[in-house]
Amino acid sequence: MSEVHAPARSDAGPGRTAAAPSEPTLPANLRRNAPLVPTDSAASRALAAVIAILTFLAALCAGAAEIAVSSAGQWQGSVAQEVTVQVRPSAGRDIDADVRQAESLARAAPGIAGARIFSKAESERLLEPWLGSGLDLSDLPVPRLIALTLASDRNADLSALRTALTTALPGVASLDDHALWLQRLSTMANTFAGIGIGVVLLVLFATGLAVVFATRGAMAGNREVVEVLHFVGADDDYIAKAFQSRFFRLGLRGGVLGAGAALLTCALAGLLARMWRSGPAGEEIEALFGTFQIGWQGYAIIVLIGVIASLVTAAVSRFTVRRFLR
């Protein structure tokens, strides 16, 4: 605190009035009309911009992970609703008769809603992605396929159907329930979800580090003010609350900007996907990447990330101030 100067001595003689004592004054560096932690300075705007960018990246990563998990769930649902019976050609046997017998056994099994026999030409076309087109496969023992649709209102006993096919057509017919593909899809979905969570945590950690450096810089720049607050009786909790309130506003501003930009990007991606769907490659893109629509859960996750970013900013600033004052 500044010293209070004593009144100046007057050299006035009799009949002259002495000068009035001067008012106590504070040094210029302690006279301030601005808040303890200004929110409109260049450093504050830069911190808000950093938080907005990090929130935007974290929200995009979470949205992409949600799209991947949703697409994998759709693939799993479609794959789990079908099983495949494979009938292999065998010497001395009529392949068409074996296919019809396998179809009859499948239709008679409980829980099977329908069966569709793939023709020989359709079975050969399924090999074109691996063998190429233009090949004559008539001399190759290409297996015939029967796609079975499972009923949604009752469970199918696939073990009993597999046993019936093996007994009636030994070494010829086999049942594939796509369990390997379902396991791989589940592993892929869990991997994408884990990567998304890891990236979001890393981004939040980077946000915390930025807030730590910004808070320590603000504390160092306001050291004299903090000392005066201590001198007049303010405790550490009061000072920490002042910094927490200001940095929470900065984090909220950055979180709102970053989450809003991520929401707009996801909405534009969904709009472009619907436009691409009408093109010649739309079906392939949709089958591979889905519809690029994250749904209400994805939008809720993006909003939640913006809120978490602001809360992390407030909590880290408070913790940093307490450590600095200690």
Q: Are 305 and 227 in contact (CB under 8 A)?
A: no
pLDDT digits (tens, 9 = 90+) for 193-249: 888 889 889 988 998 898 888 888 877 777 777 777 777 777 777 777 877 888 888
Q: β-pairing, 144-150 with 173-176?
A: unpaired
pLDDT for residue 288 is more than 70? no
- Which residue matches tokens 């749904």? 295
- Residue 1's pLDDT is 37
Assign 297 to helix, strand or coil. helix
Residue, of 40 and 42, whose pLDDT is higher: 42
pLDDT for residue 253 is more than 80? yes
Identity of the highest mean pLDDT range in 44-48, 54-58, 156-160, 217-221: 54-58
CA distances (Å), origin 287, targets 60, 177, 183, 293: 21, 21, 19, 13
Instruction: Look at the pTM and tell me if it is higher than 0.75.
Output: no
Residue, of 268 and 8, whose pLDDT is higher: 268
User: pLDDT averaged over the chain?
Assistant: 77
- Which residue matches tokens 């903090």? 226
Q: Percentage of the chain surpassing pLDDT 90?
A: 4
- Residue 284's pLDDT is 59
pLDDT digits (tens, 9 = 90+) for 63-118: 888 887 877 777 777 777 888 888 888 877 888 888 888 888 888 888 888 888 88
Measured between alpha carbons, how far is 201 from 134 in angstroms, rounded to an integer? 51
- Residue 290's pLDDT is 58
pLDDT for residue 297 is more than 70? yes
User: What's the mean pLDDT in 296-300?
Assistant: 83
- Residue 56's pLDDT is 92
User: What's the mean pLDDT in 41-55?
Assistant: 85
Please report, for the chain, how many H helices and E strands are present, in that order. Answer: 10, 4
In this structure, the number of other CB atoms found within 10 A of the CB of residue 281 comes to: 10
Of 316, 311, 272, the C-alpha closest to 292 is: 272
Measured between alpha carbons, how far is 156 from 146 in angstroms, rounded to an integer? 16
For residue 29, give the DSSP letter.
G
pLDDT for residue 33 is more than 60? no
- Residue 142's pLDDT is 79
Q: Which residues contact 57 (CB under 8 A, 6 or more apart)?
A: 199, 203, 258
Domains of the chain by residue range: 38-77+189-325, 89-171
CA distances (Å), origin 324, targets 41, 204, 219, 242, 310: 22, 22, 8, 14, 21
- Residue 37's pLDDT is 60
Identity of the highest mean pLDDT range in 15-19, 126-130, 145-149: 145-149
